[in-house]
Chains A and B, each alone.
Chain A
Amino acid sequence: MLVFGNFMPGISAMSAVLQVENLRTHFFTKAGVVKAVDDVSFSIDKGQILGLVGESGSGKSMTGYSIMGLIDSPGRVIEGRIVLNGQDVTGYSAEQWRSLRGNRVAMIFQDPMMTLNPVLRIDTQMIEAITAHEKITREAARARCRNALSQVGIPSPDERLMAYPHQFSGGMRQRVAIAIALLNKPDLIICDEPTTALDVTIQGQILYEMQKLCRESGTALMWITHDLSVVAGLADSVAVMYAGKIVEQGGTAELLDHPLHPYTKGLLDSVPSRNVKGRPLKQIPGMTPSLLKIGNGCAFRERCMRRTNECEVAPPFTSPELNASHKVRCFHPHVSTEEALTA
């Protein structure tokens, strides 16, 4: 039996659409064990948006894939619980996952072609996505597809339903993928960098649609990105991942205005708008360590200006500030008393 160290069941469990508790997803490769997701816990309530931020390889996608039951060999969820609407789905069979996916939970990928089949017409794909989970006439299904396409701002949906994916631009394809995710009104949507390859105007459109969806239908959203500015405008709360672990977690404003972890602070300080125009940006030295070579201590220690001998062991996840929901995995966080001293 597992022991859930820092998870507090109870209070939010009523309205939580998703609870992830001490999730560990490891890949057993020839070169060694890759701890892609290593003790990750969070929950998302109805209608809430969680931003999951981190560099490439930090484990964001694998966290999403784990929740969708999409981890393939050599990877495996080796520990932890995934609870959807109060139901523990961790041990689900492939069959059970299939009936859940696209129905109660949906995922939108960075590349919309992960969702779309290039040789099938859009209507064929969309209708199939409905009839796989529900007994419904083709006409009713078609009407719902048309509706979903208009919902994501695709003009003349009847015409578009007859088209093939390559006849759409990248932004339109992503909107079709989103429309497919919306078809069965899922309780949870995981968006894995869906706008990273898109322009700001199309990104704005997609953010508008996702935000509307959460507000109107109470869908819970997990928004994976490396862009803190997007998270600032969209999310209710933020989790920052580094090398497979959540290193900081809290309400969006709290976390962005008073980052506790040296990594979060470093990222925020390097954003151009926070620097003097034309002058060198504040930068975090070094690069992300290979997940095979982290060892025991804090994974950020090679790049950290605040590290001490203490950091050679793994730091605990704590709330050093009055606000208990703002948590950090660091021995020497940037706490506000220190800010007051240096200000």
Chain B
Amino acid sequence: MSTSLLELKNISKRFEKKLDIAGRFARSLGAGLKEETVHAVDHVDLTINKGEVVGLVGESGCGKSTLGRVVVGLHQQSEGEKFWRGKNVAAMTADEKRAMQLEAQMIFQDPYASLNPRYRVENIIGEAPVVHGIINAKDKSAYVAEVMQRVGLDPALSRRFPHQFSGGQRARIGIARALAVKPNFLVCDEAVAALDVSIQAQVLNLFIKLREELNLTYLFISHDLGVVRHLSDRVVIMYLGRVVETAPADELFTQPNHPYTQGLLAEVPSLTVRKKDFVAIKGEIPSPLNPPTGCHFHPRCPHAASVPGNKCKTEQPLLKQIAVNRFSACHLNQ
């Protein structure tokens, strides 16, 4: 029995969506736009065990980054409870919270935007550990050199600025900055998406190496199912703010249960499928501003019509256990 590092219970995150400039402009021309609420994360339960690599997958805008930000405390949830090492975060002392925030680090989707362009790499990596008393200021250079080496960066480059590095090197700087505060848990948000294929493999290998060396736990957010399958022990599939399926990685990829997971896997391009006959998606991809009733997936689901009583349209299917370590939210599993 593994112990949980993190547990989310019934977590929601809502945003009041303000109109952007283009939106306000269009409204002034008569387009019927109003400000709305987005349920970016909608009543999610999620447990991550020590040492586990959990892959988080879903379409753009389904709430992956938002969930990741709630996990590391960059967003305060609108609803629900978060437990860290079994302890309710709401009941923690300020010191306990600070310790948790160091232990759980996030690596961001956009390596350009997340590095301060006016900071030298030695400060990007070395500042937080000094501030938090992990090292003494006088040991900073040596410590930065050690962390840089660990992520495959030449310590001689520590006085450079982010723009003087390639995309792959910047990704490494982002990883080094997170590692510098000695975390146990990393949320990697599309950490390799912006990289070239040959560089992606190098950075993925770095994640694999770090996991082994430092005994890390990962929440690995990616829309690349090949990458997720390779790295993850367990996979969580989200659709419009909700978790619709979770399963051990191998089982999820070989026997997906949820119709959305099945549809998603069918679309994954593969090197071995040549001159494929692509098929049109049924229905429109709905907006998170205005999700469909009942099961969010029902307008696109090929099975919705075969569930009696129009249930898919009227009733939200709950995430239910369907086998050992497997959960799915679909009325077909009744």
Residues of A bordering B, CB below 8 Å:
55-56, 118-119, 153, 155, 163-167, 169-171, 197-205, 207-209, 211, 226-230, 232-234, 236, 252-253, 256, 266-268, 270-275, 277-285, 287-288
Q: Tally the A-B contacts, defined by beta carbons under 8 Å.
A: 155
B23 → chain A closest CB, angstroms:
6
Known: A166-B26, A277-B230, A280-B208. A229 touches B196 (CB 8 A): no
8 A–B contacts, CB within 8 A, in A order = A166-B20, A167-B33, A201-B264, A201-B285, A204-B278, A211-B277, A232-B270, A287-B198
B323 interface residue (CB < 8 Å to A): no
CA distance A16 to B190 in the complex (A): 40
Report which of A199, A207, A277 forms a contact with B229, defined as CB distance below 8 A: A277
B268 interface residue (CB < 8 Å to A): yes
Evaluate contact between A280 and B209: CB separation under 8 angstroms: yes
B275 interface residue (CB < 8 Å to A): yes
Evaluate contact between A272 and B276: CB separation under 8 angstroms: no
Residue of B with least CB distance to A156: B284
Other A-B pairs, 14, CB within 8 Å; known A201-B59, A204-B267, A228-B271: A55-B197, A171-B60, A197-B60, A200-B268, A202-B59, A208-B278, A229-B268, A232-B270, A273-B271, A281-B201, A283-B198, A283-B201, A283-B202, A287-B169
Chain B, 217-276, CB within 8 A of any chain A CB: 223, 225-227, 229-231, 249-250, 263-264, 267-276
Chain B, 196-211, CB within 8 A of any chain A CB: 196-202, 204-205, 208-209
Known: A56-B196, A232-B269. A202 touches B274 (CB 8 A): no
Evaluate contact between A288 and B31: CB separation under 8 angstroms: no
Known: A164-B22, A278-B230, A288-B196. A233 touches B276 (CB 8 A): yes
Evaluate contact between B274 and A200: CB separation under 8 angstroms: no
CA distance A199 to B237 in the complex (A): 14
Evaluate contact between A153 and B269: CB separation under 8 angstroms: no
Residue of B with least CB distance to A266: B198
B166 interface residue (CB < 8 Å to A): yes
Evaluate contact between A227 and B269: CB separation under 8 angstroms: yes
B15 interface residue (CB < 8 Å to A): no
B329 → chain A closest CB, angstroms:
18
